[in-house]
Structure 1
C-alpha cells in the first residue's frame, strides 16, 4: 500500500516492478473507455511495465458471469454498474476487495472515508458518478430566466411547454417528491409509505398532459434539439456532449439530480489477480480518478479528487462545473438507492405503467 501511495501521489513518476506482463480490462467502449486509457491504462503501464489490453462489451456483467461459470476467465478487471456488481458479488462471480488495501486520498483521508457515502461496496471500487438531471434549451429563455430548481420542471405555469420524462419509475418518482418539497435525505423513507407514493404520483399528474416520454439516453438531447420539449430529464453526459461537441445551447439544472455509479471488479479466477488488484488500486486513487473526469463528464467518486480536476481536454474551460460531484452541484442531490429498487422495482414498474395507461 505504501508503494501505491507514492505512485499515485507522483502519478506514475516512479517505476514499480511489474506483477504481470499484461492484464485485460473489459469496459463499455467508446468515449468511456477512451477516457480510461488516457487516465488509467497508459500511466499504469508507464509505472509498472504491465501492458493494459482493453476489450469492450455492451454490458461486461454478462460475459464475465459466463466466463466464470465456464471456468475460462480471460478478463482481469471488469467495469460494472453498481447493481450488477452487487448481484455478481452475492453469486461469487467477482471477488471481495478490502477497502483497507486501497490507497488513502491525496489529503491523507482513508479510502473508506474518501469515497462518497454508499459507493464503495464489498466487491467493487467505484470509478465514476453519473446522474439524471434536468436539461433545457437556454436559447428559449432570456439570460438568467431559465429554470433553476427541480420544482421549476413541474411548474408549467411559470415555464410553459412540453416536458421530457423518463418512461420508468426509477428517478422519476424521486424527482417528483423533491419537486414537491421533500428533502433529498428523506425521499426513500417517504417512498416506502403509501402516502409518499401517492404524493409522488400526484405530483406527476400535474405535468402528465405536457409529458413526452422517453426510454433511450439518446432521446432527450434530440427532443430538445427538435423543439419537441422545452426541458427534459436526461443523463448529464449526453447533455454535456451535445453542448460541448455539437454546440447545442443546452444547460443543466443540478438541483434534484439523482446520481448513480459504476466501478472496477475482479472476476473470480482472473488469470492475473495480483496485477489486477494493483491496477484497481492505482486507477481508483485520487489523481487518476480526477484525470479521467477531464475527458468525460462523469464525476470522480473520491472527495479528494474534486479539487484536482482540470480543464475539459483540449480546451481552456474548467470541467468541474459539468460534473455531478462538484460541490455546488451536490447541494440537493440524491444517491439512487440500490436496496429500495431491488425490493420494489417490479411493484412500482407495474404501478407506473398503469399510471401511463390511465387517461
Structure 2
C-alpha cells in the first residue's frame, strides 16, 4: 500500500465546503433499523453540518444485491453502499465497485497513518471497514451461581459447566472456536485448519459436545434459546446479546475470549453519480471520532484502533459501551479475524464434511 497522505479533519472539511456545490445530496444505501440509525447519527448528520452536502439514506435487506443490478444495468443511483466484507471483496473483483485511493483516509488524531490505524485487513482496494461484529458465546448468569464461564474452552466443558449449548448450524466459526478451545492460538487457527490433521482435531473437539448442542440458523434464535432455558450457553452475534441484556434486562453475559470477528463497511459503486462527494463522505465517516460516535447507538466495534478509547456511553446515557465492543483492547486478547480467503477456498468441502458429521 502506498504511503498515505496525512489529511487533517480540518482540511477535509474545508475541501468539502469548497466543493459542496458539486453535489447537494448523496444517497447512501444501508440495512435499516438501529444500525442505519447509528450511521445517520454518527456520520451523516455531522457530515452535512461540515460540508453542506445532504445525505439521503435508503435501506435494503442486503445492499450488495441492488448495487450489482444497478451497475450491470448502467443505471446507478447510489453513491455509497454499506456491505459485508465478503461482498465488498466480491464486488471489487467483479469490477462493480470503485477503487479507493487510501490517501483519502484521514490519519488518527496522533498522526498515525490510516493504514496503520485500521485493524488488519479492514482496508482493501475498494472497501473500507467501519464496524466489527463478532460471533461470541454468551451464557445465562442464573444457571451458574458459582464459577462463571470465562474462556472459549469453558464453552466446550460440559462437566464443569453443565447444560445444552447453542451453535450455528454450519462449519464456519464452529471449527475455529473448536480449535481455539483445544489450545490452538488464534494466529495459528487457519494454518492448522488448512491441514487434514487440523480438520480432524476440530471435529474431534466438536464431538465432545455434539450430543448437547441445539443448532440455530437465524441471529434472533440464540437470545431466545437462552431466554427459554433451552440452552445455558450459546454462540451468538454480539449485538444480539447486547440488545437482550441492556435493552431487555436479560441475565446474559458475553464472553469475548475466542471470538471470531468480521468487518462491515463502505464501498462506492462503479459509476456512482456523485463520485467526489461520495469519496468525501467515505473519508469523513471513517475518521476516528465518527467511528467512535457511531458506537453510541450500537454495540459493534469501530474498525480503527484509535476509536476504541473514545467510545463512551450507549444512547441511554448510562451504559458504558466499551465492555460490549468486540474491538475493545481487553476483548481482543484472544480474538480471531475471520479469513475470507480461507473460506473462499474451503467453504464447500468443509460444509460438506460438517453436514456429513452432523448426520452421522
TM over 0.5, shorter chain: yes
Q: Which moved more, 1:38-47 or 1:315-324?
A: 315-324
Is 1:160 aligned to 2:162, yes or no? Answer: yes
* Alpha carbons of structure 1 residues 270 and 110: separation in structure 2 relative to 1, 3 Å: same
Gaps of 5+ in 2: none
Deviation of 1:3 (Å): 6.5
Choose which of 148, 151, 157 in structure 2 pairs with 1:149. Answer: 151
- Secondary structure class of the residue paired with 1:120: coil
Choose which of 114, 126, 129 in structure 2 pairs with 1:126. Answer: 129
Is 1:39 aligned to 2:29, yes or no? Answer: no
Q: What is aligned with 1:50?
A: 53
- Secondary structure class of the residue paired with 1:16: helix
Matched-pair contact (CA < 8 Å) for 1:300–1:325: yes
* Alpha carbons of structure 1 residues 228 and 46: separation in structure 2 relative to 1, 3 Å: same
Q: What is aligned with 2:79?
A: 76
* Alpha carbons of structure 1 residues 2 and 256: separation in structure 2 relative to 1, 3 Å: closer
Q: Which moved more, 1:180-189 or 1:99-108?
A: 99-108
Choose which of 117, 121, 130 in structure 1 pairs with 2:120. Answer: 117
Q: What is aligned with 1:351?
A: 353
Work out the number of aligned pairs and report it.
Answer: 354
Matched-pair contact (CA < 8 Å) for 1:4–1:281: no
Query: What is the correspondence of 1:183-332 to structure 2 with a 5 Å cutoff?
Result: 183-332=185-334
* Alpha carbons of structure 1 residues 42 and 4: separation in structure 2 relative to 1, 3 Å: farther
Distance 2:35 2:43 in 1: 12
Deviations 1:146-182 (A, max 9, x none): 2000000000100111000110100000000000000
Matched-pair contact (CA < 8 Å) for 2:6–2:103: no
Distance 1:329 1:16 in 2: 39
Deviation of 1:316 (Å): 2.0
- Secondary structure class of the residue paired with 1:185: helix
Matched-pair contact (CA < 8 Å) for 1:15–1:46: no
Distance 2:148 2:10 in 1: 47
Gaps of 5+ in 1: none
Q: Scaled by the length of structure 2, what TM-score is found?
A: 0.96
Distance 1:216 1:317 in 2: 27
Distance 1:13 1:162 in 2: 57
Is 1:6 aligned to 2:10, yes or no? Answer: yes
The alignment yields a C-alpha RMSD, in angstroms, of 1.5
